[in-house]
Amino acid sequence: ATLQNWISFVTDIMDNSNISNEVRNEVYTATFFPLFIMFSTFLTLNLFVGVTCWYFNAQKRDSENNLNSRTSALYQAAVKKMENVKLEKTIPPPKVKYIC
């Protein structure tokens, strides 16, 4: 179902010959391949992407709900604690004077 070189396969299968080597172009075999491509490739791909996105959004929603309850409170407490802390040590100016 990679869709590579599928037109040559369709023409080879449509030009099937029987024992007397007469070429018969079968229309039913030509309609099989577009139907196969639509149902197998696109439908399966859309289902896979849809289910993956749905589970990803569900996990994201669950993680945001859990994050807002406990982790957010701990984060807010840590931010308040960091805001209240004052720096005590200052950086001294350099001792060597540079001449420009």
Question: What's the pLDDT tens digit per position in 4-52?
Answer: 777 777 777 776 666 566 666 667 777 877 888 788 878 888 888 989 9
Q: Which residues contact 29 (CB under 8 A, 6 or more apart)?
A: 10, 13, 14, 16
- Read off the pTM: 0.38
Q: Quick one: what percent of the chain has pLDDT higher than 70? A: 78
Instruction: With a cut of 70, say whether residue 73 has pLDDT above it.
Output: yes
Residue 85 has what pLDDT? 84
User: In this structure, which amino acid lies at residue 63?
Assistant: S
